[in-house]
Amino acid sequence: MQPYTNHYPPDDYYLPDAQQPPDWIYVFMPSYSGKAFLAFILYFCGYLPGLVVNIALLLEALDTKDRFGRSPDGLGCLVALLLLFTVGLVALFVLVAFSFTNWTRF
C-alpha cells in the first residue's frame, strides 16, 4: 500500500450522505436597531414610556443573545440609550443642583 500523499482525507472518512450534518444553517437573527430608534423617540415623548420600552427591548435583546450565542444588531444602541438617559440624566441633575448652590459661604 502506498503512503497517503495528498492533503485530502480518504474517501471512507466521510459519513454516508444521510448522516452528514448540513453545511449551513440559516437562522433569522432579529435586529434591534429600529426598535432602539423607537425607544429614542419615546424618551422625548415622555421619559417613563421611553424607559419602560428601552428596558423591555434590552431584556428581549439579551434573551436573543443567550439563545443564539452572539449579540444581535442594536444591542449596543439599547445599552447606550439606557446609560445616556439614566446616568446622563442623573449627572445633569447633579450639575444643575451644584450650579445653584451658594459657594461664597465656604
Average pLDDT for residues 69-92, to the nearest whole number?
93
Round to whole Å and give the CA distance between 89 and 95.
10
Q: In the chain, what percentage of residues exceed pLDDT 90? A: 49
Contact present, 91 and 80 (Cβ < 8 Å) = no
pTM of the shown model: 0.68
101 vs 17 pLDDT, higher one: 101
Average per-residue pLDDT in the chain?
A: 83
Distance (Å) of CA 5 to CA 9, 13, 92: 10, 15, 71
Provide the pLDDT confidence category of residue 24 given band limits of 50, 70 and 90.
confident
Distance (Å) of CA 64 to CA 33, 34, 38, 83, 86: 14, 16, 19, 20, 24
Residue whose C-alpha cell reads 444643575 in the numeric block: 96
Q: Is the pLDDT of residue 16 over 70?
A: no
